[in-house]
Amino acid sequence: MEHGAAKAVKEDGRAYGGFIRATKGKLQEYISNDLIQIAWNVELAKDPKRLAVNSKKIRIPIKLEYIETIRDKAIKDYILSNIQRYYYGLSVDKHVFIDDKMILGIECKAYTENAMIKRILVDFHLLKTKVPNLICYLFQLESQLGGDYSSEVKNPKGSAPALTLMSHFPDVDLNIVMLFPPRKKIDEYHFPRELTVEKLEKALMVLVSIFQKQEASNVNRNN
């Protein structure tokens, strides 16, 4: 059993670690937002008015097929007569719109572990019921997914648990962008870390490529 002083130190450490993670999460949101703006407005020199970024809740309605399975007629009739109330408000950190069309969703994390990946996959799966062609990304400062996500290899193979979860959500096709190199120790919460120009440019080019492909598809549709 821990003595009071030792327990207090450990709890203070947890609180400090939680504060740092929350702060880094907000930092990642700011970085992601700036990268989106730079990719569209600067790198591609497109009209800023065509771009919109928000995190407004999107209504995911109840499935009518589910209502049909309800055996209690009174409950079924009640739901159907109040159908406008049966929805779930859902958002990820960044919803990216071009010409009022949502093309990209980005979840921003200080770090991600597999329990978080499970939630992210579910959120994107639900969003794709409303936006089937949505491109799904996770931008994170660092990773606790295991495998080689944090390594410097050109084409990381991922990790067994994360890929297993992804295999159950093939419609999502989640892409992961890392901004920090791997930690030497998991309990290092010192900040700042090594946020390099090279890493930022790599993330920027990911967004530039997405926007270029979107513009090219618009041209093809209009011809």
- pTM equals 0.83
Per-residue pLDDT at 185: 55
DSSP-derived secondary structure letter, 192? S
Cβ pair 28, 179 in contact under 8 A? yes
Helical segments of 69-196, H only: 73-81, 114-130, 160-167
Per-residue pLDDT at 5: 47
Per-residue pLDDT at 1: 47
Per-residue pLDDT at 2: 52
Per-residue pLDDT at 8: 44
Beta partners for residue 108, in sequence order: 139
Per-residue pLDDT at 181: 65
Per-residue pLDDT at 179: 85
| CA gap 105, 96 in Å, rounded | 6
Q: How far is CA 166 from the centre of its chain?
A: 14
Backbone dihedral region of 195: left (phi > 0), alpha (psi from -120 to 50 degrees) or beta?
Answer: beta
| CA gap 187, 164 in Å, rounded | 26
pLDDT 10s digits, 125-160 = 999 999 999 999 999 888 878 777 766 666 777 789
Q: Which fold has domain 4-56+92-222?
A: Trna Endonuclease; Chain: A, domain 1 (3.40.1350)
Per-residue pLDDT at 16: 46
Per-residue pLDDT at 44: 97
Per-residue pLDDT at 47: 97
Read off the tokens for 99: 């010409």
Alpha-carbon torsion (53, 35, 123, 91), positive or negative: negative
Extents of the domains making up the chain: 4-56+92-222, 60-90
Read off the tokens for 146: 């295991």
| Residue ranges of the chain with per-residue pLDDT less than 70 | 1-25, 150-154, 181-194, 223
